[in-house]
Chain A
Amino acid sequence: MGMMDLNFVLGTYLFALIGTVAGSLISSLPGLHVYNVIGFALLFYIPMAERFPVHPFMMTAFLVGMLVGYGFVFTVPTVYLQAPDDTLVFNLMPGQRYLTEGRGHEAVVLTSLGALLGILALVVLAPLVMPYLKLLSDLLNPHLHWIIGMVILYILLSEFPKDFGRRKKISGRLIEGWSTIAAGYLTFALSSVLGIILFTKTLIEPSRAFQNLMPALVGLFAAPNVILNLISRREVPRQVIQRDFDADHEDLFNGTLSGVLGGGFSAFIPAVTAGIGGLLAGHATAQWGDRSFMISMGASRVVYYVGAVTLFFMPLIHVRRGLLAQNIALFYAPETHAQFYLFLSAIAFSAIVAFFMTILISRFLARRVSARSYRIVSAFTFAAILGIVFGMAGFVGLAVFAVAAMIGIIPVIYFSRRSNALAVILVPIWLNMSGLMDKVVQLLGLR
């Protein structure tokens, strides 16, 4: 397929639209990662892809639409359905602080505006940087092990600056301050061990092995907040639907720039995920305040997720970064410039749909959000997560999920950084790349 015809282009848009709407609705539920849903769908699609009446490119457009929808709408449950306690207002992410001020909708709009600008930057820049990415990739590949090592070091060191320790006694302040840091390092250590076990042992049967890490990721990142929502007692103040928003062009530029850089870095470097991209972008923009922080978070998330798949569609590069690219590679291999441009066009189209869906869903929720409503939604989500984990990975998957959830709840209880749990991916990949995996595996008695 070199030359595209108009029907094919329109068909691609249609599938991207369906994917975006589906992804947006799924992402409205807190804690349900679109990768899990995509993986679940592909479990059925891939075995019969050859006979499926849908062209694989359109299936790809559908999946990318879901991913774009997720990248935008994920902000909504993050802001509305992880409602914080008043006393924690100074330790919250800006989005949650906005919610306590009745500005949840504004937080959602600013974050998704960041995502829109992130996508705009991505689709404009992708063809321009494409000729240099292959060179950059060749240049970086021999050095990835120490780059990832530096990222790990960055995560560990960035745990330090904490503002806890308000007790009167010095010992009390010491314990309070260090308990957070210790919890962070404990999370890091346990996640690393879990990751090493999952990378070296085939716990999940080989036919489902491409979902090997899924139960752990869901347990570490999705389950803790859902569980917390189920047991918490919080009040959400009345929300305002704003007609205009507190941001200027400087905020937009700074936020988008740092988000695109952070997201781009994590999309390009293997094992580095959106969480790290967000962390980098967050640190880069901390001095510019909440507004650019939220914009950068929106931008870094979509640039990471969508950028990773974009690398796969770039002619001559075809790097498989991120779970979606790896899954698409199981049934489709993009080849042409024409496909690449149609892919970017479908992303742009999906992003516009997702942006306005985010605003609509946010307006809907802003009027209705209450402690009771998010507990019901959380219960439903928890059941859905359990069902998907069981469906994809069976009882062993549920066991891995339970262990991961117990590790994942540590940062929630001790207010340490959640990014420490990313050690589940970073550490095993870093060990593999630096040739240390065998020694560590022997040391842990796994072989």
Chain B
Amino acid sequence: MRCPSCGREIPEGVDVCPHCGARVTKRLGMRALLAFSLALILVGGVYAALSLQGYRTYAQIGDLSRKMTYASVQVSGIVTGSPSVYLNPRGMEGISFTISDGTGELRIRVYGKAAQRLVDSRVLPSLGDRVEVSGTLLWSSAGYLYLSVNYADALVIREDLRHFQELSITRIASASPSELEEYSMVETTGIVTSVRPMEYLVLYTLTDPGSGSSVTLVMNGLTRYVLGDAKLGLGNGTVTVRGALKLYGTEWEVELLTVGGFDAPAAEYSGSPSSDPYSLVTLEGVVESLSGDPSTLPAPFSMVVSGIPVNVEAYAGRPLDLGVGDSVVVKGILLEGPGGRYVEVRALTMDGVWA
């Protein structure tokens, strides 16, 4: 008889090889090795199937609790909190918005490359959108649950479920809180008569030129980031806007879709000082007087160019080395005030002053 380990002759019936110390019985056969390999194949197969299906656990927001922190969940609902963007000195850090499914509200945060991919693809959530989103449930140090989303495909925006109801500005402005449905999508038409850039948002007043009624338009922080310089402003003429209804106190506002929220004619600065008010004009001439210091922008300044007063808003352009007697080209909107007509050069538009 030979030792099955070292191959040397050993006496019959011994349990342990006297040469190498190996056990002659109670040994591990190839069958055991194959069994372990099979176990690994099964585990690998299960994981492959999981990767094919994605990995998700459907949940209702009301059922989520702090005990589920780090769980992977999928939720669906309507966007009820305005999409906003987190910025840091290096650029965009992430996108945040809130959804509701009728059982509760949940903050969604999309981070890093996933957020950048959403911005690049222009597939972005808007107030009132129906969305399905999967991610990891986390507990914020500020004391609330949120869903952390780390890849772009984890957010599905049901753009096919957007149905826009055509409503006039007058109808929206006169409706009581119970007459319209919050977060329903509407389309309306009017003229932008004021622009108020806030820290994160831009608020517009959209006016019906016929009735004089107006409604507040909200451009959320994400749209403002995506658009860069806002392309919606005074002097765009009649614009058609799309967005979701939102109650502010007892008044209805319209929050613009994050992407494609308005159709505004391209701004052409073809008017002259004799055109109608609200026309976009190009003014070429010599600076006759100057009040303020154009080299210290973002501070506002004013001047008179070839007899026409020009007001330059704060943040409307770059610092200029400009003095009396210099030739300038001014692009802005023609307005009419108590002192007569003047040109306003606005921030967040294509307006500007060129020396």
Contacts and interface: CB of A to CB of B under 8 A. Distances in A.
A137 to B, nearest CB: 12
A120 B54 contact: no
Interface in A336-393: 336-342, 344-349, 351-352, 355-356
A150 interface: no
Contacts of B45: 345
A358 to B, nearest CB: 11
A242 B44 contact: no
Give the most central of B26, B30, B40: most A CB within 10 Å. B40
B148 A316 contact: yes
B4 A103 contact: no
Given A1-B153, A103-B22, A341-B55, A348 B50 contact: no
B164 interface: no
Interface string A99-113: 001110010010001
B142 interface: no
Contact of A338 (B8, B36, B40, B54): B54
Interface residues of A, number: 53
B86 to A, nearest CB: 17
A242 B48 contact: no
Nearest to B2: A240
Given A2-B54, A2-B151, A345-B47, A240 B7 contact: yes
A199 B36 CA distance: 43
B50 A341 contact: yes
B19 A113 contact: no
Contact of B150 (A106, A335, A345): A335
Nearest to B70: A131
Interface in B68-113: 69-72, 112-113
A123 to B, nearest CB: 5
Contact of A4 (B40, B52, B134): B52
Interface in A72-103: 101-103
B33 interface: yes
B33 A113 contact: yes
A124 B43 CA distance: 7
Interface string B285-308: 000000000000000000000000
A352 B7 CA distance: 28
A255 to B, nearest CB: 12
A335 B41 contact: no
B7 to A, nearest CB: 4
15 contacts: A2-B54, A2-B134, A9-B51, A103-B20, A113-B33, A123-B47, A244-B27, A244-B29, A246-B22, A247-B27, A341-B50, A344-B44, A347-B44, A352-B37, A352-B41
Q: Which 5 A-B pairs have the closest CB atoms?
A: A348-B44, A2-B153, A337-B55, A131-B70, A342-B51
Interface of B: 4-8, 19-20, 22-23, 26-30, 33, 36-37, 39-41, 43-45, 47-48, 50-55, 69-72, 112-114, 134, 136, 148, 150-154
